[in-house]
Amino acid sequence: MEKETRKIGHLDMDAFFAAVEQLDNPTYRGKAVIVGGLGPRGVVATASYEARAFGVGSAMPMAKARKLCPHAIFLPPRFPRYKEISDRVRAIIHDYTPIVEPASLDEAYFDLTGSERTGGPAEVIVRTIKARVHAETGLTCSVGLGPNRFLAKIASEIEKPDGLVIITPDNVQAVLDPLPVDRIAGVGKVTAHRLRGLGIHSVADLRGATLDVLVHEFGRYGRTLYQLARGRDDTPLRPHRETKSVSRETTFPHDIYAPEEIERIVRRMARVVAAELRHERLLGRTIRVKVRYPDFRTITRQIRMEAPTDSTYLIEETAAALVRRRVRIADDGVRLLGVGVGGITTATTRQLPLFGTRNDALDHVVDKLHARFGVEAVRRDGHPAPENGNESMDRNNGARYSESGGELG
């Protein structure tokens, strides 16, 4: 029996953070704009195409970007604004299919297989989506359509920016073969290097390798490579990706020594994490604190709570106690601090506390104020992420921290 060919789309906003800055501030347009952590240890999140011409790229240390492109406009990220546009783009896609899997703030996969009966050919729908994104946000994106998510992603990259590429079962090999192997998701520098050692440079070369050779060299991943070289990928879309943890972490521009300051920062991050839990109507059971020392040794300390919670009081006090009692602060200080909450459940079921009522009421008030005046952005696992893991936070207090989200531990 022949399986129905799936129609998977991948939409990727072009130089998203930088493009939003250029959109909101016309004087930035046509100029090199670099968004990222601005401290001495900051990393580039997004560079506009004008900056990319100078060799600036994502995940590059900001110091290097400043050297390559000293005249660029350097900006800290504004996550709430990016999230707003990201939500609008996602809403557009949702008009055509309920199956949307956000990959990050600027990327989403979607499944149009079932949409064709009512919405017309997928090839037409993706064109409509692309046009609507431009019309309704003022930003361009690149869209790929293919029989699976691997090919959809490949397709969206081929003509970036402002591209639209459709891969069908008939042209798969013609599109894939000439690509260098490191265009395959998951093939990083190390794998690419090992592949080159086997004489494999392009996808066509990879297709020439036998399954035995690839499995021998890469184990189970060899099997995946063998399939991907042939454009085969049956990974399903996960429209409702479950949040596994809500966390926040900060790398400091200078190592922090004072225990009081460390605790103060941990408390602030804990408050933000708690607010995010409430915003998303989630509860967490495990509270973690992560510390990285200047020599990059990293430790985490965690506590499993008696019941899942979203209480600022509980999360803040627990995180503070963890860092105070269970973390050794050496003379050389700490380089990074993180607070995370795991064991996530939805807040529809909640063990009510005996003593917590006054604090809960306060949480509610604080949340309202945040909603009106803005709160620092938080990222969660499995949800929109910056292009690389570097953000800036705490724009109010002089110091700038670069930070990255992600699961602690």
Which positions touch other proteins (CB under 8 A)?
Answer: 285, 303-308, 317-318, 321-322, 325, 345-356
* Closer of 240 and 325 to other proteins (Cβ): 325
- Least distance (Å) from other proteins to the CB of residue 288? 12
- Least distance (Å) from other proteins to the CB of residue 284? 11
Report how far residue 179's alpha carbon sits from residue 201's, in angstroms, rounded to the nearest whole number: 9
**Residue 43 CA to chain centroid, in angstroms?**
15
Bridge pairing between strands 391-393 and 73-75: unpaired
- Does the annotation mark 107 as catalytic? yes
* Closer of 326 and 395 to other proteins (Cβ): 326
Bridge pairing between strands 73-75 and 245-256: unpaired
* Closer of 27 and 351 to other proteins (Cβ): 351
**Among candidate residues 112, 183, 173, the one with its CA nearest the CA of residue 143:** 112
Q: Which of 107, 316, 387, 391 is catalytic?
A: 107
Q: Cα–Cα distances in Å, from 90 out to 95, 110, 130, 178, 350?
A: 9, 10, 12, 32, 30
Report how far residue 384's alpha carbon sits from residue 389's, in angstroms, rounded to the nearest whole number: 11
**Residue 331 CA to chain centroid, in angstroms?**
34
**Among candidate residues 111, 101, 203, the one with its CA nearest the CA of residue 148:** 111
Maximum Cα–Cα distance for the chain, whole Å?
68
Report how far residue 15's alpha carbon sits from residue 49's, in angstroms, rounded to the nearest whole number: 7
Structure tokens that stand for 39 in this block: 């401290």
* Closer of 71 and 304 to other proteins (Cβ): 304
Q: Give the list of residues 6+ apart from residue 390 with CB closer than 8 angstroms, or none.
A: 36, 37, 42, 43, 44, 45, 59, 402, 403, 404
* Closer of 128 and 286 to other proteins (Cβ): 286
* Closer of 358 and 372 to other proteins (Cβ): 358
Catalytic residues: 107
